Amino acid sequence: MQCMTTSIANVCLTLITGPSGVGKGTLVKKLLEKHPQIWLSVSATTRLPREGEIDGKDYFFLKPDRFNQLLLDGGFLESAQFAGNSYGTPRKPVETQLKKGIPVLLEIELEGARQVRKNFPKAFQIFVAPPSFNELERRIRGRATDDEKAIQSRLSRAKQELLAQNEFDAVVINDDLNSALVELEQLMTLKNV
């Protein structure tokens, strides 16, 4: 992944999207372990932290008032509502990294991905898809982090999101985790070290 230009709208901005539970977080974590030169944006959300999640590392967990104020102040590169909560990418840190020529990765849902596409047409956009809808449901339930209402909301959103995969530059099917990781590395032209 070459990031030699200082232009903000260059190919060094990669976004990964795909339905909740497909394994985006798992894939991204493995990708960053192998390629620490990539900078992952930490999103803000109004959702409550899950067990083990750390404020400032997994997300910036904000009260709705604070999130809305930041939104009004233009503090987000993109933002969206998802399963009853707000999510957004803080603008400043992303712009700072891109100006330095550091490759930036965003892991966001579909509506936010569409906003990024509009504002950064050269961003490389990857959609992660499950091998089947049943397997997606199994993963969401297996993660055991959401109550039934949230699971239903995520599954219904997933149906819509899966219909949009053709909008993306590439689709990675996360069946076998390691194969999906290698595919991601190849797409992002990262050397497999």
Eight-class DSSP state of 62: -
Rounded CA gap, 180 and 118, in Å?
27
Site stretch for ligand 5GP (CB under 6 A), options 1-9, 63-71, 87-95, 178-186: 87-95
Q: Out of 8, 25, 58, 68, which residue is the one contacting ligand ADP (CB under 6 A)? A: 25
Q: Does 88 bind ligand 5GP (CB under 6 A)?
A: yes
User: Of 4 and 55, which has the nearer Cβ to ligand 5GP?
Assistant: 55
Rounded CA gap, 45 and 108, in Å?
11
Residue entry with tokens 């239903």 = 152
> Residue 47 CB, nearest distance to ligand 5GP (Å)?
5
Q: Does 47 bind ligand ADP (CB under 6 A)?
A: no
> Taking CB positions, which residue lies at the least distance from ligand 5GP?
112
Residue 41 structure tokens: 């944006």
User: Of 127 and 191, which has the nearer Cβ to ligand 5GP?
Assistant: 127
Contact positions toward ligand ADP, by CB under 6 A? 20-26, 139, 142-143, 174, 177
